[in-house]
Amino acid sequence: MQSVLSQLVLGYRPLWGPTRTLAGVELSVHAADAALAVDAPHLLRTLHELWAAHSPPLLLAPQTRQLLCDLLAHAPPGSPAVAVPGAWLGDSAICQQVQAAHARGLQLVWRGDAGQPPEPALARCFDTRLLGLSPETAVRALQAGAAAGTLLAGQMVEGLASRALVALCLDRGQAQAVLGWPQEDVLHSLRHQPLQPARATVQKLMKAIDAEQSLEVFEDILGEDPLLAYRFMVYTNSAALGLRTGIDSLRRGLVMMGYGSLSRWLSDQLPHASAEPDLQPVRAAMVVRARLTERLIDAGLETALRREVYLCALFSQLGELLREPLGSVLRRVPLSERIYDAAVLQTGPYAPSLAMARALEGGDAGVVRQLGKAHGLALEDVNRALLRTLASLEAAPPAP
């Protein structure tokens, strides 16, 4: 039986809550072939099988009317929420299916411009809204004071291109979450100060050392922060440590460094570590890219090479964090040439998986199809890797 995952092109974008932690994930769903019907019940069963209790809430975003209708018709109560574009509610058939799905208990999200809300008769069918805000609309609404709470409280917002607008919506407007993150503007706004590893990650690793946990745990924690991992690699290859051979992986660095030296190095990092909340989504998105790239690579690779792939993707945006050319950043440590080739030159064995992970972040179906054909990456394998990666994430508990 053909898997439904071979019939789809998927993409994702994280939803970030007021604490700047993961609140959910939007999963865009395209039909791989417009001429063929997608088995919506099979898709819903697949998601149910893959998702765990800790997995982030899903918002399904069908990209065609037929996909939307199939999900509205077949999704049982307890299924992931379904986003319904407000522009499609001019179709009476879709309106009827929305009403029937709501009556059945399916969670629905109205999606559209904040200035064009749904008709009152349909508005009650939606549990919440995903609002598109222009900068002008957002500022006007939030300047209205109490009216801003009415507009944004408990709603989700997308299309925010600046850090200031995110703060206005999440902190003052009490929005439930924002879809996507203005990484470029966040990094630009912090350009006058050197970016530091996250204090929470440094402390987490120090606690793991005190608890005498395993090297695997240490490596996993280091891999949660690209800046901390990179600084660790630079330090282990510095004259201060006095090692005779180059350290080309986190694991080897941990083995050579030892618990005591690692603990002292972390103590030196802690006073300068960052607690800037707006950097959390930036780091977290880089970690998701790394996990996804690792899953996309040939499953037959040995563990050491898979961890090398992870490091390649984790470091692929270091140039943006350190405000230097990525090639110069990576040449400071004796990493595998495979990492440099993929991250900088976009060549070599890791390049296709890294390129695919990037494409899935934006949900560009055309690019995903093109990369799949060019590099022999089957849609079913790509989609399964994506879903398993997303299901492995943990969402922060909702605010009380």
Q: What is the mean pLDDT of residues 187-213?
A: 95
What is the tens place of the pLDDT at every residue in 319-335? Answer: 999 999 999 999 999 99
For 217, the 3-state DSSP assignment is: helix
Note if the pTM is more than 0.85. yes
- DSSP lists the bridge partners of residue 228 as none
User: Which of these ranges, 140-154, 192-206, 339-353, has the smallest mean pLDDT?
Assistant: 140-154
User: Which residues, 6+ apart, have CB-to-CB distance to 210 below 8 Å?
Assistant: none
Q: What is the mean pLDDT of residues 26-40?
A: 89
The 10 Å CB-count burial string (b at 16+, else e) for 310-346 is bbbbbbbbbbbbbeeebeebbeebebbebbbbbbbee
**Nearest 5°: phi and psi at 119?**
-60, 145
What is the tens place of the pLDDT at every residue in 243-255? Answer: 777 889 999 999 9
pLDDT at residue number 38: 87
Residue 283 near residue 226 (C-beta atoms within 8 A): yes
How many other CB atoms sit within 10 Å of the CB of residue 39?
18
How far is Cα 262 from Cα 202, in angstroms, rounded to an integer?
A: 11
